[in-house]
Amino acid sequence: MKKKPTRSAAPPLAITWLGHSAFRFDTPSGKTILVDPWLDNPKAPPGARDMARLDAVLVTHGHGDHLGNTIELATKHGSRVFAIHELSLYLQREGVHAEGMNKSGTVTLDDIAITMVDAKHSSGIETGEAILAGADPAGFVIAFENGVTVYHAGDTGLFLGMTLIRELYKPGIVILPIGGLYTMGPREAARACELLNPALIIGMHYGTFPPLTGTPGELVKHLPAKLKKRVVTLEPGTLFEYR
């Protein structure tokens, strides 16, 4: 009888922070997924746009620092774009293969399950000429094909529904905004980590502009002892592998 493969034997998930809230995931089966690909941000590494393929783009909300280069990249690669319904309609009008969904809904990309969850923030679609109504903010829980589950919170404040995200989806990795002012700062993000209790914590949405003053070091200071060593500080453009 063949032994069931262990998780440690599975190919790793490769995570690359591209600055601000932009993340690239290269999956064990060879897919590439981007979340909030604003690749013109001041922290974006050289070559951030360079990729042989782009299977999917996930957009948490319509603000320009999250929608970013979605239209450009999805058009170039013929990517599927997942966003909340109202934002997907706007993207469809821009010629993008956008698929609408809503909170608690799940879509699949072969063996990858992508669930939209709540976020507490403002929103609106920034067109360059006006701000269009709609496009409620969201986060995403991504269950990858090797058993790793990642929660990208998008822009959000602290909210008790994170407890339900932990109970329902059990994300091993949480990616949380920590910069403050427009999102959670380190103190609020630390409390979010207590609610979520992940194996790994990654900060985002900090250091891009002077007002975003929170840092991973400050986050660690606010965390209880059992969570302090779970924080991983990523440098933009550096690959991080997780099984």
Helix, coil or strand: residue 77:
helix
Longest Cα–Cα distance of the chain, Å, equals 64
Phi, psi for residue 217 in degrees, rounded to 5: -60, -40
243 occurs within a structural domain: no
pLDDT one digit per residue (tens) for the chain, 243 residues: 444 444 456 789 999 999 999 999 999 999 999 999 999 999 999 999 999 999 999 999 999 999 999 999 999 999 999 999 999 999 999 999 999 999 999 999 999 999 999 999 998 887 777 888 767 999 999 999 999 999 999 999 999 999 999 999 999 999 999 999 999 999 999 999 999 999 999 999 999 999 999 999 999 999 999 999 999 999 999 999 998
6 occurs within a structural domain: no
Q: Token pair for residue 150?
A: 């990642």
Q: What gap in Å lies between CA 96 and CA 99, rounded to an integer?
A: 9
220 occurs within a structural domain: yes
241 occurs within a structural domain: no
What's the CATH code of the domain at 158? 3.60.15.10
27 occurs within a structural domain: yes
Structural domain tally of the chain? 1
Question: Closest Cα partner for 36 from 61, 59, 63?
Answer: 59
61 occurs within a structural domain: yes
- Give the sign of the dihedral formed by CA 236, CA 221, CA 155, CA 104: positive
2 occurs within a structural domain: no
Range of the domain at 74: 13-232
7 occurs within a structural domain: no
DSSP conformation class of 5 = P
Q: Token pair for residue 228?
A: 């302090």
- What pTM was computed for the model? 0.95
